[in-house]
Amino acid sequence: MKILLATQKPFAAAAVAGIREIVEGAGHELVALEKYPEQADLVAAVADVDAMIIRSDKVTAEVLDAAKQLKIVVRAGAGYDNVDLAAATAHGVVVMNTPGQNSNAVAELAIAMMIFMARTQFTPATGTEIQGKTVGIQAFGNVGRLVGQKAAALGMKVKAIDPFLPAEKIVEGGAEPAKDLEDLYATCDYISVHIPATPETIGSIGYDLITKMPQGATLVNTARKEVIDEAGLEKALEARPDLKYVTDVMPDNYAVLQEKFGLRVFATPKKMGAQSKEANVNAGLAAARQIAGYFETGCTRFQVNK
């Protein structure tokens, strides 16, 4: 089988070497398309491939139409909002993710972003400490739990909410359950966002929620830019000069936010939460193993378009 590693944002060399070893060891061929400049390059590369390993690469209906031999796509990572699941299902293509494999890298970045903003973006201005503050975790999945553990170890109080978890599971995970989302926002000095981008969550964090945050609070988004209502965020930062926003997913209105709010906002130019060597290796090798396993035994564990 021909397996395409399509990574617009490339993996570390160690991850690519590990993927190659697994793929070739299972008797398949690996071709790599890295740092490609245009989506058309991806469309052209899929014509004769049987499987794909991707990151945030966009597997659209156009890609799926062009990939006549494609049987399986594994998103080496957690979020699969970049894959047109309905089109994949219509084409009979199995889609999987690799949950948990890059979570630690993202959780470390969320903590780093809290400290970066608390210390006024590492400028000499007097900042604050995160010890003794409360962090509210919005969605207590693989990343959210790790953020909670690390925050607790740093002396923070941890609250959380998750629409898919009962309160006792949140307690088991080491956090205090918030009464509801409004309560989480109203009672936490930091909110760390870990929700996926879905029709229900897109644009769901806006003016009303953000302005519920207490004096001097910071919103930390290492999830997806789409979950923020950017106009609402701008309005909230305007109305509340004490609030801050930090994100690993540059908002469309970032230039305006920077101009208006200076050091109260920060965005990474390209999503880098999962961009550690360890996360690359964990997620990349898991993806390769899942593809080899699918071709060998038909295993569909981690399939997301069932």
Residues near ligand 3PG (CB under 6 A): 9, 55-56, 77-79, 102, 271, 273-275
In the complex, residue closest to ligand 3PG by CB: 77
Least Å distance, CB 283 to ligand 3PG, is 7
Q: Which is nearer to ligand 3PG, 140 or 207 (CB)?
A: 140
- Closer to ligand 3PG by Cβ: residue 177 or 273: 273
| C-alpha–C-alpha distance, residues 259 and 83, integer Å | 34
Tokens of 126: 């007097």
Nearer to ligand 3PG, 56 or 204 (CB): 56
Task: Report in angstroms how near the CB of residue 250 gets to ligand 3PG at its nearest.
Answer: 13
| Minimum distance from residue 167 beta carbon to ligand 3PG (Å) | 26
The CB-of-30 to ligand 3PG minimum distance in angstroms stands at 18
SS3 content of the chain, % helix, strand, coil (to 5): 40, 20, 40
Which is nearer to ligand 3PG, 80 or 185 (by Cβ)? 80
d(CA 287, CA 211): 40
> What is the C-alpha to C-alpha distance for residues 168 and 22, in angstroms, rounded to an integer?
40
Residue nearer to ligand 3PG on the CB measure, 26 or 304: 304
Determine contact, residues 302/96, Cβ cutoff 8 Å. Answer: yes
Residue 155's contacts (CB-CB under 8 Å, 6 or more residues apart) are 130, 131, 132
Nearest residue (CB) to ligand 3PG, 11 versus 245: 11
**Tokens standing for residue 30:** 């690996």
* Shortest distance (Å) from residue 10 CB to ligand 3PG: 10
Distance CA(30)–CA(11), nearest Å, equals 14
The burial class, CB within 10 Å (0-12 / 13-18 / 19+), for 276 is middle
CB-nearer residue toward ligand 3PG: 56 or 221: 56
Residue 237 CB, shortest distance to ligand 3PG, in Å, is 24
Residue with tokens 């008797």: 27
- Which of 6, 15, 9 lies closest to 277 in space, CA to CA? 15
Shortest Cβ 107–ligand 3PG spacing (Å): 12
d(CA 85, CA 276): 27
Q: CA-CA distance, 141 to 103, in Å (whole number)?
A: 9
Residues 6 or more apart whose Cβ sits within 8 Å of residue 260? 234, 237, 238
